Structure 1
Amino acid sequence: MDTDHADPADLAALRAAFDVDAGEQPLGWDAVHAFEAEHGVVLPEPYRTFVAEVCDGSSSGPPDFGLVPLAALPEDWGDGRPQRVLAHPFPLTEMWVWEDDPRPDEEIDPLLEQVFDHGSIVLGTDGCGMYWHLIVSGPHRGHVWQINGEGAAPFGAEFGFSTGEAGFAGWVKHWAAHKPWFDTA
């Protein structure tokens, strides 16, 4: 997975997967650069080129309720949440089911805030509090994670939960092939 250079084949697959007529207009490079400067990150490829040149969000999915625009959050994200800090590294590198974690809430709650609000942009939701995040800073930069009320897991065959390739393009291709998100069970 190359997060620094957009593969033309990946961009072609992304264009084919989304109904760009159902999507938002692309942001353009000036807006992408402004977003990156404001948040202290460089978006991983091919997502970066996708929002600059193809479309910035789409109701045609993925995920189930559509791809939200770059600077937006899903409607069910909730109010009164901590400020998201994209430049702070996303803290996880492997699945974590906090629902089963024996540590006290006083230890878990600050970690949860980091998981939900540090180092990622929210791509969208499958409903019921199941959010898809693209990691923009930290060791998993460029990977897509599903984060929900019970835990967090990375998407991609290398993590054992899916047959899809890791990263934004792999996540979209998996969806476009009509495969279940977690298809190895």
Structure 2
Amino acid sequence: MMTGMNTETCDLAELAVLREVFASRPEAAAPAGWEAVRSFEAEHGIVLPEPYRTFVAEICDGLRAGPPYYGLLPLAQTPADWGSHRPERLLAKPFPLTAAWLWEAEGDEEELSQQEFEARTDPVFDDGSLLLGTDGCGMYWHLIVTGPQRGHVWQIAGEGAMPFGSQSPDALMPGTPGFTGWVTHWAEGRSWFADA
């Protein structure tokens, strides 16, 4: 399990990095403001993790051109390809994972009925996370807002779910964990995956 992040208090150094990355992006949307952030939190029964919370309120609420590939979503939106068949998103319910789960590698899709498979994987897509955006082809980036992984960014796709940002030599997506680490990794033009 990844730990060590302060998700309750906004680190001014992290906020300065985020301001610098987004200051040069003319396609960045205006910040949502504190009233909109607090309203969103009250509606969903959560408090957004820092520094994302302050970032959305004071710096930027969406970006048309990355991160991820199809842009950073505004606070209350889902990607156009998210689909209307998805269950209701339950942000206050804890995100169920603490380690990568590549269900495609386990063969779970073939062994279970579609209903059984969705009962196991739907919480990974819909509980305790905020959608940051998509890289297309069903690859979504989530900011975990509830549970032990609060503040971490995960990529969740049809093949499985994996956290971004690990210092482990065998990490699938090495880097600095958290929203600022994810944004910085993108701004530096680095590949998300260790073997790419």
**1:169 counterpart residue number:** 180
> What is the SS of the residue equivalent to 1:60?
coil
Matched, 1:75 2:80: yes
**1:12 counterpart residue number:** 16
Q: Distance in 2 between matches of 1:21 and 1:154?
A: 29
2:33 is matched with which residue: 11, 28, 33?
A: 28
TM norm structure 2: 0.89
Letter in 2 for 1:138: G
CA RMSD of aligned residues (A): 1.5
- Report if the CA contact (8 A) 1:86-1:136 is conserved: yes
- Report if the CA contact (8 A) 1:20-1:54 is conserved: no
Letter in 2 for 1:177: E
Matched, 1:2 2:10: no
Equivalences for residues 1-185 of structure 1 within 5 A: 1-18=5-22, 19-101=24-106, 102=108, 104-105=112-113, 106-158=115-167, 160-183=171-194
- The alignment-based identity, stated in percent, is 58
Q: Distance in 1 between matches of 2:98 and 2:50?
A: 19
Q: Please, which runs of 5 or more residues in structure 1 have no aligned partner?
A: none
> What is the SS of the residue equivalent to 1:22?
coil
Moved over 6 A (4+): none
Letter in 2 for 1:109: E
Q: Distance in 2 between matches of 1:183 and 1:100?
A: 18
Q: Distance in 2 between matches of 1:24 and 1:96?
A: 34
> What is the SS of the residue equivalent to 1:138?
coil
Deviations 1:126-179 (A, max 9, x none): 111100000000110000000001100001124622331000000001111111
Shift in Å, 1:111:
2.0
- Report if the CA contact (8 A) 2:164-2:174 is conserved: no
Shift in Å, 1:10:
0.9
Deviations 1:24-55 (A, max 9, x none): 21111111111101101110000000000001
> What is the SS of the residue equivalent to 2:154?
strand
Shift in Å, 1:108:
3.0
Shift in Å, 1:20:
4.7
Q: Distance in 2 between matches of 1:107 and 1:137?
A: 24
- Report if the CA contact (8 A) 2:163-2:173 is conserved: no
